[in-house]
Amino acid sequence: MSNTLGTTNFKFPSQLNHYKGKVREVYTLENDLVVMIASDRISAFDYILPKGIPYKGQVLNQIAELMLNATSDIVPNWKMATPDPSVTVGKTCKVFPIEMVIRGYLAGHAWREYKAGRRMLCGVTMPEGMQENDEFPEPIITPATKAEEGHDEDIAREEIIKQGIISESDYLMLEDYTRKLFQRGTELVEDRGLILVDTKYEFGRAENGEILLIDEIHTPDSSRFFYADGYAERQSNGEKQKQLSKEFVREWLMENDFQGLEGQTMPDMTDAFVELVSERYIELFENITGKAFVKGDISTIESRVEANVLDWLQK
């Protein structure tokens, strides 16, 4: 399980810049091209965990490819090609510095805020009398600032507009796209027996002024899913929901006294736990797509990625 794609340092033709995110490696090239590599790194509480997860990047990239294709009639997106199981090539754009988070259910961060007694999240009022994992009367949008380092921060729509982070007209368009994308995502996974609980979308402006959907969508890194079968029964019994998301990694960290706070130490990741996480990612891929996951050759994964990108660029 040791062959994972970690940090890369490729030198592609006409390369202008190389940016290393928490999980992705982004190479900017001439002619408004960007090569986004989904590494096998995994992050939680804004910290990168010490070991990579085999096939994680492939899972994220291939789910995103499917979902970008399935939503391109709602909003144009940045994707041009997927030359490798772990790579997407697309158009460069100026990224809006806000993540559009939308929540259909009271889970994760929203539940932690609610449990602490707060009923306002990003300027949106959450109803009284809700239990963890209850469905909201209608989905709520709770944006977050995109932090270069450290934690993303909740921010209200009014503050985004007041501070001039995004113009009001652009922001209202992003909200409209977000609601439509969430509805489409809900319908897509409903057919697979899943519930799209919450997710985030990112947008940018292309050279021609067009707003594009960017990055990945409806993946276990950007979204939370419940199994629809037994959801109502588990809620009525006050039981935990069976879910497919990265939340179980966060829960494992919290059980081991780590939430990214000062003075806390990252717990050791056993090989068994790494394998379990890998299996969970593959399980989600197969549940969402209805297809068997075909594992890419990871014997020399870095060389494979480089060769496939170079081949696409030469063509």
User: Is there a single domain that holds both residue 209 and residue 187?
Assistant: yes
Phi, psi values for residue 122, rounded to 5°: 55, 40
So what's the pLDDT on residue 221?
Answer: 84
The pLDDT tens digits of the residues spanning 94-137 come to 999 999 999 999 999 999 999 999 999 999 999 999 999 999 99
pLDDT digits (tens, 9 = 90+) for 56-78: 999 999 999 999 999 999 999 99
Instruction: Yes or no: say if 194 and 288 are a contact pair by the CB < 8 Å rule.
Output: yes
pLDDT at 147: 66
* Structure confidence by residue, pLDDT tens digits, 143-155: 999 865 556 799 9
Among 225, 245, 265, which residue terminates a domain? 245
CATH number at residue 167: 3.30.470.20
Tell me the average pLDDT of the chain: 94
Q: Are residues 190 and 84 in the same domain?
A: no
User: What does the pLDDT read at residue 22?
Assistant: 86
Q: Are residues 62 and 184 in the same domain?
A: no
The phi and psi torsions of 55 (rounded to 5 degrees) equal 70, 0
Does one domain contain both 108 and 216? yes
Predicted TM-score (pTM) of this structure:
0.90
Q: Is the pLDDT at 266 greater than 90, yes or no? A: yes
Cα–Cα nearest to 126, from 139, 28, 247, 205: 139
Domain-located, residue 8: no
184 Cβ contact list (under 8 Å, min separation 6): 70, 71, 74
In 10 A of CB 237, how many CB atoms?
9
**Tell me: the pLDDT tens digits for 87-104?**
999 999 999 999 999 999
pLDDT at 1 over 80: no
The number of folded domains in the chain is 2
